[in-house]
């Protein structure tokens, strides 16, 4: 089925999916971001720390490097022509320091922007006085940046969702917090998105379907009533759903993908039948292991004798 990281990144990198992700999570479902307004940008973040030693010794340097999975620049606000830097970080396991990681990403992004502004001023030689020291003018602005963690693990996320959760107990902590960085963790846990109405397109289909992961009968009923919506999923969406539902696509289904779409209703029905067949085989093998004959097993399970004999040969 392919590398799981590649499947997730390939799906989220689609402009319409990326736009809907932020429209739903950040803007409450309002269609603020349009796919055509998204522009790829470098997700690599580097910052050079300088330690200037005294007494004529050489400076020492340390480079901080980070890289987000997907980063896009987008015009937000139309005529204002303001660009926001949006990043998505895929996570399949719980990381108890994740809030610190995303804070680092966003901080490095701002430092990267400030450094670029400084270099441009140095090149133009248009800063002087107090502005010369920082390389940053009073009217200079940074582009707002938001990082969303797209969590695909089935275990409920129990790590802290803000920086406060990493601090130990202190009788003065609550008094200190208003003067500290809040750094909330923007997290989407795909298996328990509570309000899917904020999302649209294939992303909503994915979130809606995943609500029934633990109840295959309820999933079948849901698909029956939404058959048209899931009848021809595009390749990226189909692979995403297959990965999240732990579904191995057959050769026939792979061919359907290449021909332009997959009937997920049929694929999931085949998966259910396969699971039922495996369960039936386990029961038959257990009965045979207790000394029952193939004829007795066939009579009790209503499975044809020929099939029971085939299963017996599997031992």
**Backbone torsions φ then ψ of 296, nearest 5 degrees:** -65, -40
DSSP 58: P
Token pair for residue 302?
């209503």
Q: What is the pTM of this model?
A: 0.77
Does 89 score more than 80 pLDDT?
yes
pLDDT at 116 over 50: yes
pLDDT at 159: 94
**H/E segment holding residue 308:** helix 305-312
Helix (H, G, I), strand (E, B) or coil at 315: coil
Q: Residue 1: its pLDDT value, please?
A: 41
Query: CA-to-CA distance for 186 and 305, rounded, in angstroms?
Result: 57
Please give the pLDDT value at position 271.
62
Distances from the Cα of 95 to the Cα of 7, 19, 88, 157, 170, angstroms: 21, 26, 15, 9, 24
d(CA 24, CA 148) in angstroms, rounded, equals 12
Give the pLDDT of residue 225.
87
The 10s digit of each residue's pLDDT in 235-261 is 888 888 888 888 777 666 666 666 666
Structure tokens at 83: 């660009």
The answer to whether the beta carbons of residues 126 and 186 sit under 8 Å apart is no
pLDDT at 259: 61
Write down the pLDDT at residue 25. Answer: 95
Asked whether the predicted pLDDT for residue 280 surpasses 50, the reply is yes
The share of the chain scoring above pLDDT 90, in percent, equals 25
| pLDDT above 70 (res 84) | yes
pLDDT tens digits along 117-167? 988 998 888 888 888 878 888 888 888 889 999 999 989 999 999 999 999
Query: d(Cα 156, Cα 189) in Å, to the nearest integer?
Result: 8
pLDDT at 312 over 70: yes
Structure tokens at 172: 């003065």
> What is the model's pLDDT at position 35?
92
Would the pLDDT of 315 be above 70? no
| pLDDT for position 80 | 47
More confident call, 60 vs 97: 97
- End-to-end C-alpha distance for the chain, whole angstroms: 29
**Rounded mean pLDDT of 60-81?**
68
Average pLDDT over all residues of the chain: 82
User: Does 279 have pLDDT greater than 80?
Assistant: no
Higher pLDDT, 79 or 190: 190
């Amino acid at each position: 089925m392919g590398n799981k990281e590649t499947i997730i990144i390939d799906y989220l990198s689609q402009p319409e999916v990326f736009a809907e992700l932020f429209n739903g999570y950040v803007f409450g479902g309002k269609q603020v971001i349009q796919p055509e307004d998204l522009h790829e940008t470098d997700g690599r973040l580097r910052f050079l720390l300088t330690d200037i030693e005294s007494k004529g010794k050489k400076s020492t340097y340390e480079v901080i490097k980070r890289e987000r999975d997907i980063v896009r620049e987008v015009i937000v606000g139309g005529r204002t022509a303001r660009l926001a830097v949006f990043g998505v970080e895929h996570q399949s396991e719980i990381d108890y320091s994740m809030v610190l990681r995303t804070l680092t990403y966003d901080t490095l992004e701002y430092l990267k922007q400030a450094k670029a502004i400084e270099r441009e001023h140095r090149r133009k030689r248009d800063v002087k006085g107090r502005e010369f020291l920082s390389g940053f003018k009073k009217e200079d602005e940074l582009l707002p940046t938001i990082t969303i963690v797209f969590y695909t693990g089935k275990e409920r996320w129990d790590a802290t969702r803000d920086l406060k959760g990493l601090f130990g107990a202190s009788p003065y902590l609550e008094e200190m917090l208003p003067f500290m960085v809040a750094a909330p963790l923007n997290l989407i846990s795909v298996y328990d998105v509570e309000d899917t109405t904020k999302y649209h397109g294939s992303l909503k289909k994915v979130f809606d379907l995943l609500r029934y992961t633990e109840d295959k009968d309820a999933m079948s009923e849901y698909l029956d009533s939404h058959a048209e919506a899931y009848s021809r999923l595009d390749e990226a969406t189909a692979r995403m759903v297959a990965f999240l539902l732990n579904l191995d696509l057959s050769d026939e289904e792979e061919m359907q993908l290449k021909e332009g779409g997959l009937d997920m209703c049929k694929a999931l029905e085949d998966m259910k039948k396969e699971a039922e067949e495996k369960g039936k085989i386990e029961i038959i093998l257990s009965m045979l292991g207790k000394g029952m004959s193939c004829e007795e097993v066939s009579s009790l399970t209503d499975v044809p004798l020929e099939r029971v004999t085939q299963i017996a040969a599997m031992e």
